[in-house]
Structure 1
């Protein structure tokens, strides 16, 4: 059985894509939190305020997930640099597994976060 190979240019490209996506999410979360805070000052309906509070908590949670993803990505890059210096990079099947696992984490976060945003926009459309 042939060992999987992860070409540096592909990995680096994907890492850059992920970093950009994570940076975008961080900025987007700031915007959502600002907008939700503005709505809290305008609306007095307890049910609406409770729901806004729930969304704020979910955004805080996603902020933590995003920070964890960024930290894991940075750790992976440090590991890759060490392996690259030692000349072991191309045949490291563990690295390929970690990269694929991280890709799955990003895809999962992307889906969950997109669903949350849709839910928030529907709520705002219907209530505010």
Structure 2
């Protein structure tokens, strides 16, 4: 059986990609919130306002998830740095497992965010 060696530098690269992606999503959420503010001024119908509130809540939740992911990435990065300081170039099993769990969370976040964004754009096309 072949042993797979996971290099810390490879995971560090992936962390940086994730951080950039999450920061982009935060910026995008801010622009979505700005759009919500425009719609609140434009619409007074109860059903539209309820939908606006729904999206506002979803954007708040997305921001919380992004913050949580950024935090967990930074914690993992710190753990990897400590191993690197000790001269360990390859990951141990526990650190690799944590990384793979973070990767799954990122993939799930991408799907959820994409669906929310698609729904929001459909909503905007009806009410802008």
TM-score, normalised with respect to structure 2: 0.93
Partner of 2:51: 51
User: In structure 2, how many angstroms separate the alpha carbons of the residues matched to 1:81 and 1:91?
Assistant: 11
Structure 1 residue 89, shift from structure 2 partner: 4.4
Mapping for residues 91-102 of structure 1, pairs under 5 Å? 91-102=91-102
Change (3 A) 1:71 1:91: closer
Point out where structure 1 has 5 or more consecutive residues left out of the alignment.
none
Change (3 A) 1:97 1:2: farther
User: In structure 2, how many angstroms separate the alpha carbons of the residues matched to 1:24 and 1:32?
Assistant: 12
User: In structure 2, how many angstroms separate the alpha carbons of the residues matched to 1:19 and 1:52?
Assistant: 28
User: In structure 1, how many angstroms separate the alpha carbons of the residues matched to 2:76 and 2:86?
Assistant: 15
User: In structure 2, how many angstroms separate the alpha carbons of the residues matched to 1:89 and 1:11?
Assistant: 11
Structure 1 residue 4, shift from structure 2 partner: 3.8
Point out where structure 2 has 5 or more consecutive residues left out of the alignment.
none
User: In structure 2, how many angstroms separate the alpha carbons of the residues matched to 1:47 and 1:76?
Assistant: 43
Q: Does 1:123 align with 2:128?
A: no
Residues paired across the two proteins, number: 128
**Contact 2:83-2:89 at 8 Å conserved across structures:** yes
**Contact 1:22-1:66 at 8 Å conserved across structures:** yes
* C-alpha RMSD of the superposition: 1.4
Change (3 A) 1:83 1:52: same
Greater Cα offset, 41-50 or 1-10: 1-10
**Contact 1:4-1:93 at 8 Å conserved across structures:** no
Q: Deviations over 1:5-57 (max 9, x none)?
A: 21233212211110110110110111101110110011111100110110000
